[in-house]
């Protein structure tokens, strides 16, 4: 009985810690997403949301990918997957199919596309190189978190879970106290 009680207490503490970490992570995610405009950085890697299926099946729509930002003059090879600026507001992640002019430009193609991209990518338009790390479906959460409704929901929902869990924990402690009082009363009656 004591082993079961101890196990339940450890699970209770573990769940409390896990809920707090999730709550804190969601707050950091929502706030950083708002301040950075979605360009979230972790340990020197930028996280980007994939909005199209041009790189499927390797990188699915809605995934978040990690890219290593490029240094000026960095060279790439055929087969590297790069993220580049197509225009002022649009980033594209495609695979290099040809190196042009000794690395001054690159011909690219999405793995799921039938033909290469029309225009070569100038080296100065390359933002970063795909590291091979991707998190499927997380991009949908980040996009939702970027909206006003999503930010509000992602801030409130974990708080409600924590509040509900706190009430559950308090109720459990109160039941334990009542059980001990009943045991003491029963012992006093027996004596």
Alpha-carbon gap, residue 170 to 78, rounded angstroms: 61
Contact 51, 146 (CB under 8 A): no
Verify whether residue 172 is a known catalytic residue: no
**162: burial class by Cβ within 10 Å (0-12, 13-18, 19+)?**
middle
Alpha-carbon gap, residue 66 to 1, rounded angstroms: 48
E strand residue ranges, 51-172: 64-69, 81-85, 91-100, 105-109, 121-122, 126-135
Catalytic residue among 32, 52, 54, 143: 52
Kindly list the catalytic residues. Answer: 52
């Amino acid at each position: 009985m004591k082993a079961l009680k101890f196990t339940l207490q450890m699970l209770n503490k573990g769940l409390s810690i896990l809920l707090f970490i999730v709550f804190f992570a969601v707050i950091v995610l929502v706030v950083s997403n708002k301040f950075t405009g979605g360009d979230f950085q972790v340990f020197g890697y930028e996280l980007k949301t994939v909005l199209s299926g041009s790189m499927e099946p390797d990188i699915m729509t809605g995934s978040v990918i990690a890219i290593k930002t490029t240094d000026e003059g960095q060279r790439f090879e055929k087969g590297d997957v790069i993220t580049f600026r197509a225009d002022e507001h649009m980033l594209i992640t495609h695979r290099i199919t040809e190196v042009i002019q000794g690395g001054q430009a690159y011909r690219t193609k999405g793995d799921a596309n039938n033909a290469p991209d029309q225009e070569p990518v100038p080296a100065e338009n390359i933002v970063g190189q795909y590291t091979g790390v991707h998190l499927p479906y997380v991009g949908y959460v980040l996009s939702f978190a970027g909206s006003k409704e999503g930010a509000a929901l992602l801030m409130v929902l974990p708080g409600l879970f924590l509040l509900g869990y706190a009430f559950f924990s308090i109720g459990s402690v109160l039941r334990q106290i009542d059980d001990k009082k009943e045991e003491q009363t029963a012992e006093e009656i027996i004596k």
